[in-house]
Amino acid sequence: MKQPRGFHDLTGQTFGRWQVIAFAGRRDDGQPYWRCRCDCGTEKTIWQNNLTRSNPPHSRSCGCLRREQMRVKMQLAHQIIGDAVKAVQSG
């Protein structure tokens, strides 16, 4: 398939947890879409700008990264509350 000038093939590149597995098409304005697979196995079609832009930061995962960070924060919060409760109980 012939691609227009300035076209960058991102296949095989990684952006955060995303690995680009295939070209997925193009918007009306010419911006390409890419088929990407997250580390966790989720596949999604992502607009190139969402992968490569730096401000606001690009999408780094399907959402699993954020979920993991949330879980860590929750665990930490539970630990702190748990310690506080123990401290109160032990008087």
**Residues in contact with Zn ion by the rule CB under 5 A:** 38, 40, 42, 61-62, 64
- The per-residue b/e assignment along 31-49, b for 16 or more CB within 10 angstroms, e otherwise, is ebbbbbbbeeeeebebebe
Return the number of other C-beta atoms located less than 10 Å from residue 80's C-beta. 10
CB nearer Zn ion, residue 18 or residue 33: 18
- Distance in Å, CB of 66 to Zn ion, minimum: 9
8 vs 71, beta carbon nearer Zn ion: 71
Give the position of tokens 């691609």. 3
Question: Between 24 and 26, whose beta carbon lies closer to Zn ion?
Answer: 24
